[in-house]
Amino acid sequence: MTTDRILKLGRRLIVASFFVIALTGCWDRLEIEERAVVLGVSIDTASPEAEAEEDEVSHLQGSQPVPSKDMVRVAVQIALPGRIPLGPGESGGGGKGSAGQTVWVVDVVGHSVDDAIMNLQQQISSRLFFGHLRVIVVSEQLAKKGLENVNDYFRRNSEVRRMAWMMVSKGSAKDLMVAAPKLERVPTLYLMSTLDEGIRMGKFPKDYIGIFWSNSSKKGQEGFLPYVEIKKEQNVEVKGLAFFRGSKMVGKSNPLQIAGYLGVKGINPAGYRVFVKLDGAPSTVMTAAAHRSSKIGLRIRNGIPVFSIQIAIDVNLEEKMGDKIHINDPKTLRRIELLQEEGSDKSYKDFLEMTQKLGSDIFGFGEIVRSKQPAFWNRHVKSKERWQEMYKEVEFEVSTSIKIRRIGMKGK
């Protein structure tokens, strides 16, 4: 059959042409060592004068309109292949390389994040690769102006992972990029592990960039980010939570208030320690929380949502100052419990009040209203802005119950 033969020929031609196409292909092949693996990005605000620093990469000055926004200064931390040895042992490339040399920090200015990164690419031979971006640091100043641009850029980029950390730094964000902590070979990984370990030790809630985005998007919730500061040994301290309202940072907490957040949300494991003063300074004990649980009830009273928050915390007694008190007495333990309950109640209330004042519902109380009382939500709230207003007026009833479970190896 001739048709058969023609078909066969056609088939072969198609297959052959496919192979020709494919073999000329390899469009996306880019070896791992040819990529500039970006591990961390810091974003600072830059003064408008910085425009002079910028070369005309993405736009011609004057001729093309630039966004009216102020300039940003972006610094990236790029891993240097070859400097980080393969496998454990062997103290690294040639021995003399101090930790600062495993990465390379380059900074550049631009009108937007993408603009700055374009400018940066112009200066770096290998293609910037964001697949391993683990930490994004923004300065407090920028966060207060709003992170719309930053959020949009990183959300749109398919390489960026949702499990990266975004944090707000006190002062310049770039300082965190150039910092060289001694514990890890790669500085950014140290930053990251500070927070990851924080989660494991009950010192910080899970707040990856993806979670931050989700929370900021929700109608009845606001996002928050870790607020960090670099210390003099180039170590990093988690100083608290940075509250957002929409994409603007509106305030920050102190470190112990992170415990407040964790307590209200009932997140485990628990890891904070507090002093309980029994009768004056000499008889103070310190307790460590071991397990938290919380129950949030909601009812509507006079058109205002009222949340009753019941927090139960199991604590262990860790330290005692002075020999006066004997903690093998159940009465003493009960007294410690009561005292701590009192203190906790107050601190939770203060914390909630503070967020109310800022109109930043980082706990997602609005989401509770939306899901549990949809009728009320649909009638009175409906939008994010309305909830931000209403959040300032909602009432809280906090009750804490503390239970001491263990007192360590010492009997008294």
Partner 1 sequence: MEPKRHITVIETASILVSTIIGVGVLPLPLFAVNAGDSGAPLITFVAVLFATVGVVLIAVLGMRFPEQTIVQYGETIIGKWPGRLGSLLVIGFFAVLTSLTAREFGEVVVTAVLKKTPVEVTVIVMLLLAALSVRNNLTTFSYIHYFYFPLLLFPALFIVALSLKNADVQNILPIWGNRPVGVTRGIITITALFQGSFILTSVIPHMRRPEYAMRASMVGMLVAGGLYVIIVAATVSVFGAEETKKLLWPTLELAKATSLPANVLERLDAAFLAVWVTAVFTTLLSSYFLTIQSASQLLKLKDHRMFSFFLLPFVFVMAMQPQNIVQMYQIIELVGRIGLFITIAYPAMLLVVSILRKKRGERVDDRSNP
Partner 2 sequence: MSTSASLGTFEDKIAYIEGKCGDNGDFSARRFQVFGRYPAALFGFSNMINPEMLNTNVLRPLMYRPLQLDDVDDLPPERLRDVLINDSLFFSQAKIEEAPDRWISGLVHGQSVVVIDGLEGAIVVETRHIEKRGIEQPLTEQVIRGPREGFIEMLGTNLSLIRYRLQTPEFRVHTMEIGRRTHSSVAICHIDGITNPELVNEVKRRLSKIDVDGVLDSGYLEQYIEDNHITPFPQVQYTERPDKVVANLLEGRVAILVDGSPLALIVPTVFSQFYQTVEDYTERFLLMSAIRMARLVALMFSLVFPSLYVSIISFNPELIPTEFAVAVAGGRAGVPFPAVVEVLIMEISMEVLREATIRLPQQVGGALSIVGVLVIGQAAVSAGFASPITVVIIALTTIGSFATPAYNAALALRLLRFPLVIMAGIFGLYGVMIGLILIANHMLSLKSFGIPYLSPLIPGNFQGLKDLLIRGPLWWMKKRPAFLQTIDRDRLGSNTPPEREARNVLDPQKIKNKQER
* Contact footprint for partner 2 (CB under 8 A): 22-23, 25-26, 28-33, 35, 37, 39, 79, 81-87, 129, 131-132, 134, 159, 161, 186, 189
Q: What are the percentages of helix, strand and coil residues in the chain, rounded to 5?
A: 40, 30, 35
The whole-angstrom separation of Cα 117 and Cα 192 is 22
Do 103 and 186 touch, CB atoms closer than 8 A? yes
Site string for partner 1, 161-200 (x = CB under 8 A): xxx-------------------------------------
Amino acid letter for position 390: M
Minimum distance from CB of 14 to partner 1 (Å)? 6
Q: How far is the CB of 37 from partner 2 (least distance, A)?
A: 6
Binding-site size, partner 1 (CB under 8 A): 36
- For residue 362, CA distances in Å to 5, 65, 205 come to 71, 37, 12
Q: Is 10 among the residues that bind partner 1 (CB under 8 A)?
A: yes
In angstroms, the CA 70 to CA 49 distance is: 10
Query: CB of 85: closest distance to partner 2 in angstroms?
Result: 7
Residue type, 208: Y
Tell me if 231 contacts partner 1 by CB under 8 A: no
Question: Least distance (Å) from partner 2 to the CB of residue 263?
Answer: 32
Output 44 or 361, the one with its CB closest to partner 1: 361
Q: How far is the CB of 97 from partner 2 (least distance, A)?
A: 12
Asked whether position 9 contacts partner 1 by CB under 8 A, the answer is no
The answer to whether 412 and 322 have CB atoms below 8 angstroms apart is no
Q: Does 364 bind partner 1 (CB under 8 A)?
A: yes
Nearer to partner 1, 91 or 217 (CB): 217
Is position 243 an interface residue for partner 1 (rule: CB under 8 A)? Answer: no
Pick between residue 20 and residue 281 the one whose CB is nearest to partner 2: 20
* Short-list 250, 190, 184, 199, CA closest to 223: 250
Report if residue 267 touches partner 1, rule: CB under 8 A: no
CB of 195 to partner 2, least distance (A): 14
List the structure tokens of 369.
Answer: 């209203």
Q: How far is the CB of 135 from partner 2 (least distance, A)?
A: 11
Is 372 among the residues that bind partner 1 (CB under 8 A)? yes
Which residues fall within 8 angstroms of residue 398, CB to CB, at 6 or more apart? 308, 309, 311, 345, 348, 349, 352
Partners of 224 in the beta sheet?
A: 243
Count how many Cα atoms sit within 13 Å of the Cα of residue 69 in the half-sphere of its side chain.
18
Instruction: Give the bridge partners for 20, in sequence order.
Output: none
Q: In Å, what is the CA distance from 338 to each residue of 53, 239, 288, 292, 358?
A: 61, 28, 15, 17, 31
- Which position among 91, 122, 328, 378 is part of the footprint of partner 1 (CB under 8 A)? 378
- Does residue 158 contact residue 218 with C-beta atoms inside 8 Å? no
Q: Does 299 bind partner 1 (CB under 8 A)?
A: no
Interface contacts to partner 1, rule CB under 8 A: 3, 7, 10-11, 14-15, 18, 21-22, 25, 27-28, 155, 158, 161-163, 206, 210-211, 213-215, 217-219, 364, 367-368, 370-372, 374, 377-378, 382
